[in-house]
Amino acid sequence: PEAARQGLSLDAVTRPAPLLRDKLLAGRLVANLVSNAVRHNVLGGKIKISTAARDGRAALPTGNTGPTVPPEAVGRLFQPFWRLDGRRVHHDSGHGLGLSIVRASAIAHGAAITARARQSGGLSIEVTFPAIPDELPPAPLARVASRADAGGSARVC
């Protein structure tokens, strides 16, 4: 309903992308990416989301139009309770948890997130899940690595 109120267009392309993970957590990850793309967009803006398999890995690229995001701020957007301008959020503008939940879900799945500020405004975010092994090993401990580069992208996990 919010997307319709803002006049947003949605371009969704789904291709098979096998994923052997927690369906509820993966669903929450997708829901939060889409919700964030709607909430932080411009009137008449666009949202793109797709699924694909690349080298045996499920990939979920998303993107939206929106306000310009300074490249150095991209990594900070995945921290809970903070706005783009560095202030704490107020509940009337959301809880500030959308992308931090995406990050936590990605970590739980052993997935990698790459986020880039789009030159025209908004973000491009891709979540890439691990390949499905022939034999399932014991669940690995999640590792967290966060870095931002000068090109306006961040590898969040």
pLDDT tens readout for residues 106-132: 998 899 999 999 999 999 999 999 988
pLDDT in tens, 39-57: 999 999 999 999 999 988 9
Cβ neighbours, 10 Å, residue 14: 10
**In the prediction, which pLDDT does 85 show?**
57
| Pairing mode of beta strands 153-155, 112-117 | antiparallel
Distance, CA of 97 to CA of 11 (rounded, Å): 24
Q: How confident is the model at residue 154 (pLDDT cuts 50, 70, 90)?
A: low
SS (H, E, C) the chain: CHHHHCCCEEEEEECCCCCCCCHHHHHHHHHHHHHHHHHCCCCCCEEEEEEEEECCEEEEEEEECCCCCCHHHCHHHHCCCECCCCCECCCECECCCHHHHHHHHHHHHCCEEEEEECCCCCEEEEEECCCCCCCCCCCCCCCCCCEECCCCEEECC
pLDDT in tens, 79-105: 887 666 554 444 444 556 689 889 999
Q: How high does pLDDT run on average in the chain?
A: 82
Percent of the chain with pLDDT over 90: 51
Per this entry, what is the length of the chain? 157
